Amino acid sequence: MPFVVDNSVVVGWYFESQATPYTDKVLDRLANETAHVPALWTLEFSNVLRKALKAGKADDARIQEISSLVNALPISVDHTSESVENNLALALKYGLTSYDAAYLGLAIRLQLPIATNDGALKEAAGRAGVGIVNLE
């Protein structure tokens, strides 16, 4: 079953300090499934790479390797824009940042669960009826 994945999980695939058994299992699901992300994700993930490079946590070669690896995954970037009003309404209703509301809005629109490490987004996904990716 396809799912929405947020940046907190994807980062764990490439940076050991962010990896958890959950992030590893979500990555394993991509062998047979597709993950969906809002267009915002490309900015979020590239910013993580920028910060890692600037902080000396990865060199240019590793950043290029990560970029190639993530681009080869079955991740579908959704370029459908949520309206400002819809995104704000979700953020306010569920107590989320506007960024997290973009993931929730996509999950609601596609009727898919979310893979996330973010507590507020997990709670919002449950309340919104899409739930989280359960790997048990």
**DSSP string of 113-125?**
-EE---HHHHHHH
- Rg of the Cα trace of the chain? 15
pLDDT at 135: 82
- Residue 22 has a CB neighbour count (10 Å cut-off) of 17
Choosing among 3.40.50.300, 3.40.50.1010, 3.40.1280.10, 3.30.450.90, the CATH entry for 3-128 is 3.40.50.1010
- The tens digit of pLDDT for each residue in 18-28 reads 999 999 999 99
Q: How far apart are CA 89 and CA 132, in angstroms?
A: 21
pLDDT digits (tens, 9 = 90+) for 31-67: 999 999 999 999 999 999 999 999 999 999 999 999 9
Does 73 have pLDDT greater than 80? yes
Q: Once rounded to an integer, what is the mean pLDDT over residues 7-12?
A: 97
Sort strands 35-38 and 114-115 into parallel, antiparallel or unpaired. Answer: unpaired
